[in-house]
Structure 1
Amino acid sequence: MDTQDIARPRLSEEDWLAAAYEMLTESGVEAVKVMPLAKRLGVSRTSFYWHFTDREELLEAMVRRWEERNTGNLVARTEAYAENIAEAMFNLFDCWIDPDLFDARLDLAIRNWARNDSNLQAQLDQADTRREHAMTNMFLRFGYQKQDALIRARTMIYTQIGYISMQVHESKEYRISLMPGWIEVFTGSRPTQRDLDRFLARHG
């Protein structure tokens, strides 16, 4: 074993995934390779194989993380309890405030990667369809007609993809200040002060 590995505690799978995440979001999937990752972490490449069979297994783990964090959390927020459509929208908007719920950097990196990977593009298409269904069902739950619900869901999805692709940078406070207006655009009705206060209570 390399003396460099002996000199420090063995890295965890999470350490490798975190380093791979940084490389993926900074430089794209082509930059995510075992030797550069090992150099970044200050260990020999043999340490990598304690956790992953090869680079492809690492990349698959990154895709699973994206699916669970971004699509999984988004769907869960659309299904959370809400008294009205405004509260349901604020539940979903948690994803645009909390990067632990939805990681925009990772979503952009996956979309860029998928342009040159047909298998990943198929997974991305499935994820977008799952998100669309979840948002559509959220509107249906509050009495919107099917076509209307679908159009509103797609409007939200395309807006958010635009935010991500354009890498829009807004302060948390400014983004929250726009949300009542976004809800009015997306739903056709403006949230009450009570709806807004309950949302703000979660986000300071």
Structure 2
Amino acid sequence: MRQMVQERGWRGSAELWLDAAYQVLVESGVDQVKVGVLAERLGLSRTSFYWHFADREALLAGLIARWQAQNTAKLVAQSEAPAATVSEAILNIFDCWVDASLFDSRLEFAIRTWALNDAGLEATIATADATRIAALAAMFRRFAYAADEADIRAHTVYLTQIGYISMRTTEAHGPRMARMRAYALTFTGQLPTDAEIAAFLARHPG
């Protein structure tokens, strides 16, 4: 089948190559994101790659852009989502931690690991971190927290989750969901209502 596809001149698409690069990145790290590795995985020729990307660096830039759109932009959007109370607002943020379509923890870990040997990417991450924390602080300020307190709570929320990711901590769905009320209380100082917790759990049945 692969031979037949190649004989017809199919070169894939930029998205297909990016998807393959993403899989290799989260499985094996950036050093294995190579044109030859991806071509073999896709059953395409190496030259097919260059129909879509100028070089490997362009592909890597595409992965970084995907991470920004997937994790930074969506976290900011969740921080700005409608909420009647700060408990609802923090539970909107918790959606990110349990829904990979909102925040991809595997990609986050891979990008941060990559940055250990890439000063340019390290600076990009620092900017993303600042953007995310600022969005969380703005969320707290919407609910009348003083600026200094909002900033501290934002750092606490964010750095706790990045710590989970960096340590590759895994938890069963049930026990983690059972902790969400206490986490919300810890991060906001307000105890969510039964209805707020029920709505959150209904979004994440497991």
Which position in structure 2 is the counterpart of 1:21? 22
Q: How far does the alpha carbon of each residue in 1:159-179 deviate from its partner, in whole angstroms, 9 at most, with x for none?
A: 111100111112233222111
Q: Cα distance, 1:154 vs. partner?
A: 0.5
SS in 1 for 2:179: helix
Q: How far does the alpha carbon of each residue in 1:12-70 deviate from its partner, in whole angstroms, 9 at most, with x for none?
A: 22221111111111221111110111111112101111211110110000000000010
CA distance in 1, matches of 2:116, 2:122: 7
Query: Are 1:77 and 1:92, in contact at CA under 8 Å, matched by a contact in 2?
Result: yes
Q: Cα distance, 1:7 vs. partner?
A: 6.1
CA distance in 1, matches of 2:49, 2:173: 37
Q: How far does the alpha carbon of each residue in 1:123-169 deviate from its partner, in whole angstroms, 9 at most, with x for none?
A: 10000000000000111110111111111111111111110011111
CA distance in 2, matches of 1:172, 1:59: 33
RMSD: 1.5
Query: Are 2:39 and 2:49, in contact at CA under 8 Å, matched by a contact in 1?
Result: yes
Which position in structure 2 is the counterpart of 1:44? 45
5 Å-filtered alignment, 1:136-155, equals 136-155=137-156
Which position in structure 1 is the counterpart of 2:90? 89
Q: Cα distance, 1:4 vs. partner?
A: 6.6
Matched residue type, 1:78: S
State, as a whole percentage, how many aligned pairs show the same letter: 50
Matched residue type, 2:127: Q
Q: Structure 2-normalised TM-score?
A: 0.94
Which position in structure 2 is the counterpart of 1:12? 13
5 Å-filtered alignment, 1:120-135, equals 120-135=121-136
CA distance in 1, matches of 2:183, 2:62: 34
Q: Structure 1-normalised TM-score?
A: 0.94
Answering whether residue 190 of structure 2 is matched by residue 189 of structure 1, we say: yes
Q: How far does the alpha carbon of each residue in 1:84-135 deviate from its partner, in whole angstroms, 9 at most, with x for none?
A: 0000011111101110110001001111111111111111000000000000
Answering whether residue 109 of structure 2 is matched by residue 103 of structure 1, we say: no
| Deviant stretches of 4+, over 6 Å | none
